[in-house]
Amino acid sequence: MAMEEKLVIGMDFGTDSVRGLLVNSITGTVQATAVSYFRRWKQGLYCNPAKDQYRQHPLDYVESIDDIFTKLLKDLSPESIRRIKAIGTNTTGSTPVAVDESCRPLSLSKGLEENPDAMFILWKDHTAIKEADEINTLAKKWPIDYTRFSGGIYSSEWFWSKILHVNRNDMEVVKAAFTWVEQSDWIPAYLSGTNKASEIKRNRCAAGHKAMWNESHGGLPSSEFLCSLDSSFYHLVNRFYTTTYTSDQEYGRIGEDFVKRYGFDENTLITVGAIDAHHGAVGAGSEAYTLIKVIGTSTCDMLVVPKGDNPPLVEGICGQVDGSIDPGMIGFEAGQSAFGDIYNWLKKMMLKPVLGLEGLNLSEQQREVLENNFFDYLTKEAAAIPLTAADMVFTDYHNGRRTPDADFTKVATAHGITLATEAGHIFKALVEGTAFGSKAIIDRFRSYNIPIKTVIATGGIPNKAPYVVQVLADVLGCDVQVVDSDQTCALGSVIFASVLAGVYPDIDAAKIKLAAKVSKTYHCNPEHATIYRKLYQAYKELTQLEL
């Protein structure tokens, strides 16, 4: 078969939807794209924002996979479908689920269909703050500090915190659970038809960054540690894993059901999974000492450092793991728990009273104008406000603090609101606050003598909000590059699939051809940077961060 006929698929499972790319892995041509939104999630089912509870039903993923395949393959001949050689995937994380022995999420079992604890516990779920505190307390007393490769602080967003919370609060799930699996592991298992939980290949990315896995201490935290944490782990400890895999490795072959329904070749390969932002860094062309900010509802800040440089352990980040981004490199993760979510909070808060007024009788067209033009209007207002060192300052902790120094009890604060404050001032301060949060992360890396040579922004916001990126460049005091794709996470999965399919010898070779390219560079405005340095000091006083 001619090499130019090798096709691959990349799928990116985000918070709201799945995005799929069908790519000619030789030429890099995108032959089809598809988006499928999670139906139950869109309705707000199984979530309770007042309790920081965010759950997703596995049927949302199952139905969206079918929808993506249908859309991507609809114009392909049977022969072309059989030329799809590999499928790569990434998901949110940490988003674990309890499964039975056959690898089925418990919410697909009779009697547990509507139980949120039997569903995937989404990355942004913060119901386990108390449990995370207990894990941190025990880790600091234990002979081995299992948090040392996770920034020294274990988070309520992560694997063990969420399991412990459910174990303490839902005996139905405790009794039915054979083990727990990350979404980034369950998706490849589902695609390959894995029907034994003991046969799931666990990805190093989620294991290292979210479950304290590291080769230096033998893998996961010991059985003694977990059982000392809580006796509910006794029946689970022998059902986890020791070995992990990177995304350039084979998970398996596509399942028989997908072969029958869609016409895939039975030898179509499935890659080992990973967390979305880590594949996004690869899709954006990750290089040593380049910080890649995957910016959307939240941010993940990704950095790779050569192992030979022996980087130090950096406190207060989301971990540093060998091979979690680029195989053979140390992958660092940091990030903010809210970014675009903060802007959307303002939008909902301001528009809800207007849209909900009785007797206003807005037409659908008028509602759409309000929804679609809201940020354009505020951006113009914000951009026209002169920048001064006395401006209002917001912190970016609307969903707690992820890094540096995870603390999800933190809430957002503001300083400088007066009767002269208008909507544009608030939006300006919110944008600056998210940029200050980004600077705090870079400052933490630099305080450990890890240089940041380049900053790349990718994701939905950098491609549609130039004002936000310009403020980011001015606050960081450096150029910010934006790449020519808003699908870098799916593109990263395409790159891994292409290597697994044998089209390229390694990730670096695949990135040269397939990774997104820089399309625009935002240059720092020196005058603004001088003022922002003063406002950043006010931000640090509000956050009480030691940077």
Q: Are 253 and 292 found together in one domain?
A: no
Could you read off the pLDDT of 125-184 as tens digits, one per residue? 999 999 999 999 999 999 999 999 999 999 999 999 999 999 999 999 999 999 999 999
Closest Cα partner for 460 from 305, 298, 348? 298
DSSP 115: -
Residue 202 lies in a domain: yes
**pLDDT tier at 279, thresholds 50, 70, 90:** very high
Residue 221 lies in a domain: yes
Q: Are 172 and 253 found together in one domain?
A: yes
Q: Are 158 and 300 found together in one domain?
A: no
Domain boundary among 272, 296, 311: 272
Per the structure, the complete domain to which residue 364 belongs is given by 285-485+517-546
Domain boundary among 227, 249, 272: 272
Mean pLDDT of 175-204: 98
Q: Are 289 and 257 found together in one domain?
A: no
| Pairing assessment for the beta strands 269-271 and 84-90 based on DSSP bridges | parallel
User: Sheet holding 250-253: strands in order across?
Assistant: 30-37, 17-24, 7-13, 84-90, 269-271, 250-253
Mean of per-residue pLDDT scores for the chain:
96
Write the CATH number for 316. Answer: 3.30.420.40
3-state secondary structure at position 237: helix
368-376, long-range: CB < 8 A, 24+ apart:
374/347, 374/350, 375/343, 375/347, 375/465
Residue 353 lies in a domain: yes
Mean pLDDT of 350-357: 92
pTM summary value: 0.93
Distance from C-alpha of 175 to C-alpha of 166, rounded to nearest angstrom: 11
pLDDT value, residue 547? 53
Q: Are 97 and 232 found together in one domain?
A: yes
Q: Are 346 and 472 found together in one domain?
A: yes
Residue 26 lies in a domain: yes
What total of structural domains would you count in the chain? 2
Distance from C-alpha of 237 to C-alpha of 228, rounded to nearest angstrom: 12
Q: Are 121 and 216 found together in one domain?
A: yes
Q: Are 200 and 341 found together in one domain?
A: no
Q: Are 398 and 476 found together in one domain?
A: yes
Per cent of the chain over pLDDT 70 is 99
Q: Are 255 and 355 found together in one domain?
A: no
Buried b (16+ CB within 10 A) or exposed e, 391-426: bbbbbbbbbbbbbbbbbbebebeeeeeeeeeeebbb
Q: Are 243 and 361 found together in one domain?
A: no
Q: Are 319 and 243 found together in one domain?
A: no
Tell me the Ramachandran region of residue 251: left when phi exceeds 0, alpha when psi lies from -120 to 50, beta otherwise. Answer: alpha
Q: Which two tokens stand for residue 315?
A: 């406190």
pLDDT over 50 at 1, yes or no? no
Mean pLDDT of 479-499: 96
Lowest mean pLDDT among 34-38, 103-107, 235-239, 268-272: 235-239
Residue 336 lies in a domain: yes
pLDDT value, residue 2? 43
| Whether the Cβ atoms of residue 269 and residue 87 lie closer than 8 Å to each other | yes
Closest Cα partner for 402 from 323, 327, 341? 341
Domain boundary among 272, 293, 325: 272
